[in-house]
């Protein structure tokens, strides 16, 4: 059976030391999140993740969700009670506005908690995750009445939320969407169509499910300019707030899928279901993007979370499994064999995962703080800069953390040898669960295109230039430090590669857009490596300062060794990505479709 | 539902043109395999794979194997009949000696057929695969009586074979093996112990199962020097060849595993089972290595096979799935969207897989021919050189083809977006099935250690030097050709990296063995890339010559474009592997075990 321990030490180091959370005290909600309060929140959510959610993970995968003949869906044993505890703990509204019953605490804390929940039980974590996305869209684009009707119930966990975008013929290309909406005399709409891959589409965790649905109003323009967003409750809501008759929306089937079996992924049939417009007619993409951006950050965290729990179990196994002897001679001569952690190749594997996880976690905190600034600062310029950087980093975070998270789960499984392939050890579930994060909320190829085609060129590349300047400034500041040299020199080289790749895109992609498409994935990976390198350099600096100030903890020593491993073995991968970016699109576009 | 078409064109190009099969006419069996005979064999085995095995693959995964209370195991519907057809087709003995009922044809043809079978149905392919491994061990180390008793029945498919190595406490480190053997007055042994992960350990495909079992004779030395190999039939064999009472061996349970559900992976309990020694006492590792080397080549082919079938389905989906428009404007303006194959990122994905597959297939043919030479040539020097090269390439083929095969199955699944995660499309099964090949028959980290620690230094590095010389000579021969420059220049650079890495190992690994362990995986990948680069250069040369001679086929044009893609985007990865090799073991060995 796998186990999990939330990495509170590492989160605390990032919040307190590296990113100096207390500097943001002027933002609403931050002063309520003092060091002690943060600590208590992390401890409590860790406890919930470790003690309540983690034990449900393996059984939940094996039991899965069950659709009954009447369309009801039952979640695995224990999920309903766990969700009730989660809701009662107030976790759903941790960062939601106080006026709707939330606690108004920084988003940064919610993101850290998400990592814990997801490591413990990814399929469970998706239920509140979707609800938070739906709340975010309603809070930004809903009417006051809609906010007051839906958000408090969602914060309370009495109702949950969903996102209904995909249809059989329409995935990435939402312009192909067919679900239709017909306006009624009372201002409501009748919604009809079929949605697929709807996570948490139907279940038994809450009294009502609030579906946010993209549909096309009769007579609307073709393509994405004719798409509107609707809110469609599963059960009608009476004027007094009580629940009424079923609306015309039902779960037609549960998808049979590779993993996240404990999350009910539904085909949802809308048959003249009553819905209400959210935001303006034909402006549904705006609301969709609010949900989507929220979801993309959450999915990126899934990549980290799966990588972390897989790492922990692989490291524990490597310390315990006795097999063979060290190349340098027996290390545990009293035992029949040495633990496999004596082998360099096992350490290489573990450190590769660990170096990824710690950089990824730093990136999550760094961008989450930008998220808080973008939404809470009273300085318009600060808000804009933070929002632009968050926009630029969102596809990188989603793409790089989920690609890496999956690859790391596979590598962690490999440490177990044949035992990793066996269900009972839980490692293969991490792999199957982690796999979806590379696909949903925009497959990673789409993230790469979003980065290269939209986020990078926005405002003449201002956000990227600001990031490059920030990294350069950091490198310059630490230029004279001998101790920082193993971090600063590789970081500067990697930044140089990223700048060259960016220059190449500016010179070659405008005239020939296929060059952007051909470069996109490698550019995204290159970008991610540089962000990770920057995170490592910042962590190393703070660790060195703390050590110099007398902190002799093993945690800090391990941090520095792990950082050097990243700099020596992982960051240099930027070179191959630059080579690929610069190789252009000519060769891959040469063949006719039928040659493939 | 997934589909499959055996790549006969590509195999024929490799056999007939690139490796000039007819040059080997002087070897036994080759003259029986004329171009027409080869063609007929490929056609027939393709037909069997496509029409009989492929339709059983998805249902077989879903149904899985069933263990009954009495220990019997039932394979999925259709497997028994398919195995009967397979056996009656004579496929099990295609390359086996004629004196035992085989056809004596080149191993190279059997390997090509293995690719087809495995692409169509990997779980099925394992049943004959294990039987061939067991036959190989008996043919090399068995007594005449054993060969005559077992091999003809195995060739006929009436009996199948297994390999029993692993025990709960003993995977890679066979020295920890506990299964014991007690000698009886009649010369037989009583075998007692528990073996796990035994593929095809119990099933309903054959009348008897011939287990090859590693065990320790009472009083034998500790470690691998005290291990002997035994043959233990499931049912006793009477003097007249008829089957008798059950022997003391039974399937205790079927493992619950991530994939290859249609192959019965068993816990096998030996309880005073009667067995006979194969080869000499305490020399069991020799027989094990015969099976293991055979199996490693077969497992490498699994990597290719999964990559190929995943590619075919992804390419077909990419040609059909309409979503979005080309970056350069609509390519199918009459349709609601363009097929996604217009997108560079999709082509990048597909070409990466294809370039891998075609190089891997060339490597399989190249090494299979060495295998034939090593076993059939009447020139001792030729045999030795071929055997050394095959030994060097075996871990590379196993490690690189299975790592890449899995990664490619994942990338092919990604082309399907959300649909790739759904069971019915079959892509997720390819991923789950392909995953095991990286683990069994020596996890890939062990392959890398085998390469660096045993195969490379053997005979003072003679095999590697011969390979480097062969590649250099090829590069020199084609030095003046402008057409070959895009192939030869990157190949020479990559070979340079491999030579530098080899030199680094010679200088740094002897004194400090951890440097070898730390470098092993990257060295293996670097080696594989150079082999692939060499294969591509050879294929390109032949394709160019054929084109110059008037062959205008689309096949050859596609071959050259795919080869250039490999040279531009994939071969340059050698640089990062060299960097990692040269970074040594110091950082990763610095942390105490408890820091992980």
Q: What is the pLDDT of residues A459-500, one digit of tens each?
A: 999 999 999 999 999 999 999 999 999 999 999 999 999 999
Confidence of residue A287 (pLDDT cuts 50, 70, 90): confident
CB atoms < 10 A from the CB of B282, how many?
A: 16
Could you say which of A422, A518, A591 has the minimum Cβ distance to residue B257? A422
CA proximity to A543, closest of A17, A12, A6: A17
Picking from B410, B436, B448, the nearest residue to A345 by CB comes out as: B448
| pLDDT score at B112 | 97
Residue A10: its chain B contacts at CB < 8 A? none
- Say what the pLDDT of residue B288 is: 87
Mean pLDDT of A433-455: 97
* Paired tokens of B553: 């086929």
Using CA atoms, how far apart are residues A475 and B44, in angstroms rounded to an integer? 64
The nearest CA of chain A is from the CA of B9 a distance in Å of 13
> With bands split at pLDDT 50, 70 and 90, how would you rate the model's confidence at A76?
very high
Q: What share of chain B is helix, strand, coil (3-state, %, to 5)?
A: 60, 15, 25
One DSSP character per residue, A140-177 reads HHS-HHHHHHHHHHHHTTSEEEEEE--BTTBSS-GGG-
Give the distance from residue A321's alpha carbon to the nearest chain B alpha carbon, in angstroms.
Answer: 9
Distance (Å) from the alpha carbon of B442 to chain A's nearest alpha carbon: 9
Tell me, rounded to whole angstroms, the distance of Cα B311 from its chain centroid. 18
Tell me which residue of A588, A449, A444, A404 sits closest to B354, measured CA to CA. Answer: A588
Contact B554 A595 (CB under 8 A): yes
User: Which residues of chain B lie closer than 8 angstroms to A514, CB-CB?
Assistant: 327-328, 344
Give the separation between CA A497 and CA A576, rounded to whole angstroms.
10
Residue with tokens 């003993």: B170
Among the partner residues B346, B423, B439, nearest to A257 by beta-carbon distance:
B423
Residues A205 and A343: their CA atoms lie apart, in Å, by: 46
Q: Do A513 and B328 touch (CB under 8 A)?
A: yes
Q: Hey, which residues does A163 pair with through a beta bridge?
A: A212
pLDDT score at B1: 87
Instruction: State which residue of chain B sits closest to A556, comparing Cα positions.
Output: B595
Please name the residue that has the structure tokens 């190789």: A583
Which tens digits make up the pLDDT trace of A364-389? 999 999 999 999 999 999 999 999 99
DSSP string, B412-469: HHHHTGGGGGBGGGSHHHHHHHHHHHTTSSS-HHHHHHIIIIIITTGGGGHHHHHHHH
pLDDT in the model for residue B58: 98
Contact A588 B169 (CB under 8 A): no
Residue B22: half-sphere exposure toward Cβ, Cα within 13 Å: 8
The alpha carbon of residue A443 is apart from the nearest alpha carbon of chain B, in Å, by 6
Contact B422 A583 (CB under 8 A): no
Residue B166 CB burial class (10 angstroms; 0-12, 13-18, ≥19)? buried
- A291 falls in which pLDDT band (50, 70, 90)? confident
CB pairs under 8 A between A and B: 244
Strands A227-233 and A208-217: antiparallel
Cβ-nearest to B514 among A327, A432, A561? A327
Residue A565's pLDDT is 98
Task: Find the residue in B nearest to A346 (Cα).
Answer: B445
Q: Give pLDDT tens digits for A39-72.
A: 999 999 999 999 999 999 999 999 999 999 999 9
The helix/strand count (H/E) of chain A reads as 18, 11
3-state secondary structure of A235: strand
Q: Do B583 and A568 touch (CB under 8 A)?
A: yes
Which residues of chain B are within 8 Å of residue A453 when distances are taken between CB atoms?
A: 327
**The tokens of A505 are what?**
């895109």
Decide if A286 contacts A388 (C-beta within 8 A).
no
- Helix, strand, coil shares, percent, chain A, to 5: 60, 15, 25
Residue whose C-alpha is closest to residue A404's, from B432, B527, B410, B427: B410
The answer to whether B278 and B211 have CB atoms below 8 angstroms apart is no
CA angle B43/B47/B49 to nearest 5° reads 120
Q: What are A335-350's pLDDT values in tens digits?
A: 999 999 999 999 999 9
DSSP H or E segment with residue A268? strand A265-278
Q: Which residues of A touch B315 (CB under 8 A)?
A: 596
Residue of B nearest to A434 (CA): B421
Rounded CA gap, B151 and B134, in Å?
9
Q: How far is CA B438 from the centre of its chain?
A: 10
Residue A452 CA: distances (Å) to CA of A224, A401, B93, B578: 21, 17, 55, 30
Among A373, A374, A324, smallest CA distance to A345 is for: A324
Residue B478: per-residue pLDDT: 98
Phi-psi sector, B8: left (phi>0), alpha (psi -120 to 50), beta = alpha
Please give, rounded to a whole number of angstroms, the shortest distance from the CA of B195 to a CA of chain A: 13
d(CA A365, CA A115): 11
Closest alpha carbon to B460 in B502, B490, B508, B501: B502
Would you state the pLDDT for residue A290? 87
Which residue in the block uniquely carries the two structure tokens 């999956």? A406
Mind telling me how many Å the CA of B103 is from chain A's nearest CA? 35
Is A441 catalytic? The answer is: yes
CB contact under 8 A, A585 and B513: no
Of A420, A513, A580, the CB nearest to B327: A513
In contact, B195 and B163? CB cutoff 8 Å: no
pLDDT at A53: 98
Give the residue ranges of chain B where pLDDT is below 70: none
* Minimum CA–CA partner of B222 in chain A: A336
Neighbouring residues of B184: CB distance < 8 A, sequence distance ≥ 6:
B190, B274
Measured between beta carbons, which residues in chain B are less than 8 angstroms from residue A170? 323
Q: Which of A202, A255, A441, A590 is catalytic?
A: A441
Q: What is the pTM of this model?
A: 0.98
B-chain CB neighbours of A5 within 8 Å are: none
- Nearest chain B alpha carbon to A315: B596
Report d(CA B271, CA B214) in Å as an integer. 14
Confidence (pLDDT) at A289: 87
Question: Active site residue: B441, B477, B568, B573, which one?
Answer: B441
Q: Which residue is closest to A578 within chain B, CA to CA?
A: B569
Contact B337 A435 (CB under 8 A): no
Nearest to B421 among A258, A327, A410 (CB): A258
Give, in order, the Cα–Cα distances in Å from A425 to each of A53, B317, B486. 17, 34, 48
Q: Do A351 and B588 touch (CB under 8 A)?
A: yes
Given a contact cutoff of 8 angstroms between Cβ atoms, the answer to whether B190 and B184 are in contact is yes
Picking from B16, B52, B18, the residue whose alpha carbon sits closest to that of residue B33 is B16
């Amino acid at each position: 059976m796998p186990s999990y321990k939330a990495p509170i030490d590492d989160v605390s180091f990032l919040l307190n030391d590296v990113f100096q959370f207390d500097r943001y005290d002027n933002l609403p909600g931050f002063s309520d999140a003092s060091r002690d309060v943060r600590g208590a929140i992390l401890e409590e959510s860790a406890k919930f993740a470790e003690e309540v959610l983690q034990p449900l993970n393996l059984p939940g995968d094996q039991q899965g969700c069950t659709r009954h003949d009447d369309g009801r869906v039952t979640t695995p044993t224990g999920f309903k009670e766990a969700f009730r505890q989660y809701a009662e703990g107030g976790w759903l509204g941790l960062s939601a506005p106080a006026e709707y019953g939330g606690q108004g605490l920084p988003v940064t804390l919610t993101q850290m908690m998400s990592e814990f929940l997801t490591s413990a039980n990814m399929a469970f974590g998706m239920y509140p995750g979707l609800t938070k996305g739906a709340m975010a869209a309603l809070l930004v684009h809903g009417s006051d009445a809609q906010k007051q009707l839906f958000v408090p119930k969602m914060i309370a966990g009495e109702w949950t939320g969903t996102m209904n975008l995909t249809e059989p013929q329409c995935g990435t290309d939402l312009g192909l969407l067919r679900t239709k909406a017909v306006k009624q005399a009372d201002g409501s709409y009748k919604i009809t169509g079929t949605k697929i891959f709807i996570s948490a589409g139907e279940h038994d965790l809450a009294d009502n499910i609030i579906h946010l649905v993209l549909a096309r109003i009769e007579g609307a323009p073709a393509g994405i300019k004719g798409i509107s967003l609707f809110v469609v409750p599963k059960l009608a809501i009476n004027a007094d707030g009580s629940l009424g008759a079923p609306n015309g929306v039902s779960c037609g089937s549960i998808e049979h899928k590779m993993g996240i079996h404990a999350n009910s992924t539904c085909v949802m049939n809308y048959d003249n279901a009553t819905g209400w417009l959210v935001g303006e007619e034909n402006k549904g993409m705006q609301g969709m993007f609010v949900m989507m951006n929220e979801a993309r950050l959450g999915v990126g965290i899934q990549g980290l979370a799966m990588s972390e729990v897989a790492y922990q179990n692989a490291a524990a196994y490597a310390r315990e499994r006795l097999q063979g002897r060290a190349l340098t001679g027996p290390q545990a001569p009293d035992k029949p064999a040495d633990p496999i952690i004596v082998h360099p190749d096992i350490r290489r594997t573990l450190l590769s995962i660990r170096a990824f996880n710690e950089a990824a976690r730093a990136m999550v905190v760094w961008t989450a703080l930008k998220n808080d600034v973008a939404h809470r600062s009273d300085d318009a310029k600060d808000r804009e800069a933070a929002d632009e950087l968050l926009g630029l980093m969102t596809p990188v975070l989603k793409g790089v953390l989920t690609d890496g998270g999956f690859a790391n789960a596979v590598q962690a499984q490999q440490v177990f040898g044949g035992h990793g392939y066996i269900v009972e050890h839980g490692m293969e579930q991490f792999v199957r669960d982690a796999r979806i994060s590379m696909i949903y909320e925009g497959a990673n190829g789409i993230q790469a295109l979003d980065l290269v085609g939209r986020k990078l060129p926005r405002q003449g590349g201002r956000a990227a230039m600001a990031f490059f300047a920030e990294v350069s400034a950091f490198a310059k500041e630490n230029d004279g430090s001998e101790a920082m040299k193993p971090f600063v020199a590789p970081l500067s080289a990697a930044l140089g590669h990223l700048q060259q790749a960016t220059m190449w895109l500016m010179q070659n992609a405008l005239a020939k857009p296929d060059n952007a498409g051909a470069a996109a994935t490698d550019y995204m990976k290159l970008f991610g490596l540089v962000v990770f390198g920057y995170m490592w350099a910042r962590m190393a600096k703070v660790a060195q300062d703390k050590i110099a100030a007398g902190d002799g903890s093993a945690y800090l020593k391990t941090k520095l060794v792990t950082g050097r491993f990243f700099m020596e073995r992982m960051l240099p991968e930027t070179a191959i990505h630059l080579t690929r970016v610069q190789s252009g699109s000519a060769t891959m576009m040469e063949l006719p479709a039928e040659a493939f």
